Homo-oligomer: A and B are copies of this chain.
Amino acid sequence: MKISEILAFLNTQGKNVTFTGNPDGIIYTMSNLDELKDHSIYWIRTRQFASNQLIERLKQCKDALMVCPFEIDGINCIITDYPKGIFFSILNHFFSKSRESTISERAVVLTDKIGKNVHIGSGCYIGEEVEIGDHSILHPNVSIICPCTIGCHCEIFPGVVIGADGFGYYFEGEIPHREIHFKGVKIGNNVEIGANTCIDRGLLTDTVLCDHVKIDNLCHIGHNVKIEENCLIIAGTVICGSAKIKQNAYLAPSSVVMDWVQVGEYAKVGVNSSAVTNVKDKITVFGTPAKRLSPVAKKED
């Protein structure tokens, strides 16, 4: 497409950017700065990444378009303080393929409460008391074995398991007996759940994931956990039963939150760290057991 079409799109989105260069330039593809191509769009965070050498090589490509916070003489530039967000919103709009929205013949789907344009991949098992909102995508080999509502525009990657019983036992002598779980899982809108992640069903109340929660691969979400809006849960993290993760919190890779522990708003649990007591709002904890490190740094764009 022409650069002018990209600028028109940003304008309709209310994005406040400045353009310098030739709006008739043609863009076909996107790339990173290790692999320069003709007719490609790039982004750069700060001036330190824009060496003279890079700029000379870019000038030899046809119609390079750079999204960055400053002007580069001789290069088409979309100038913004949020280059990463602008770059990816352009990619999402112009380059993302439309996703399939079919229910695979190779899936077992025992509910009819399926919204519009829902995709369910092969090998999925979707139990009876499940409800899936419009435009949600379930990739292959997802298993949902408990009562569960999933909102709209969710994406669930392969191998996810929703609804295993929580790991709660009572003892008769030395023999552990399972506490049978009676409730389910409630998932809001725009939630994304990474491959092979497991979300346990609730015991007497539901396990809850609120809108815009994003969970990476291979995480464990225990029974009766509540994760509030916009939280990011990175790969390998274990959240134990009845923990509560408040809005905009961030759990780094391979972190652990123990049962009944609350992690505050905008708080951060560090890599491979274990929150064994409550974490206050807006602080970072680190280590096992996790201790206060420093106030959370401002999130980048």
- Seen from chain A, the residues whose Cβ lies within 8 Å of a Cβ on chain B are 30-32, 34-35, 82, 84-85, 88-89, 91-92, 95-96, 104, 106, 108, 121-123, 125, 139-141, 143, 145, 155, 157-159, 161, 164-165, 167, 169-172, 174-180, 182, 190, 192, 194-196, 198, 200, 203-205, 212, 214, 216-218, 220, 222, 229-230, 232, 234-236, 238, 240, 248, 253-254, 256, 258, 271-274, 276, 287-289, 299, 301
Contact = CB atoms under 8 A, between A and B. Distances in A.
Given A88-B180, A92-B180, 14 more contacts: A84-B170, A88-B179, A108-B140, A123-B143, A141-B143, A141-B159, A159-B196, A169-B232, A171-B301, A194-B198, A218-B218, A234-B240, A236-B236, A240-B253
Contact of A196 (B32, B157, B198): B198
A30 B182 contact: yes
B254 A238 contact: yes
Instruction: Kindly list the 8 A-B residue pairs having the minimum CB-CB distance in the complex, ordered from nearest.
Output: A143-B158, A125-B140, A161-B195, A85-B170, A198-B217, A220-B235, A236-B238, A164-B195
Given A143-B159, A299-B171, A235 B222 contact: yes
Given A161-B158, A196-B196, A217-B198, A108 B108 contact: no
A95 B216 contact: no
A230 B96 contact: no
A256 B254 contact: yes
16 contacts: A32-B205, A85-B172, A85-B177, A91-B182, A92-B180, A123-B123, A141-B141, A169-B214, A169-B232, A176-B212, A196-B198, A198-B235, A200-B217, A220-B235, A272-B274, A288-B288
A225 B24 CA distance: 36
Contacts of A95: 180, 182
A125 B122 contact: yes
Which of A178, A240, A253, A258 has the largest count of B CB atoms less than 10 A from its CB?
Answer: A253
Contact of A123 (B125, B174, B192, B198): B125
A214 B176 CA distance: 8
Contacts of A121: 125, 143
Nearest to A86: B170
Contacts of A273: 272, 288
Given A89-B177, A198-B196, A217-B161, A258 B271 contact: yes
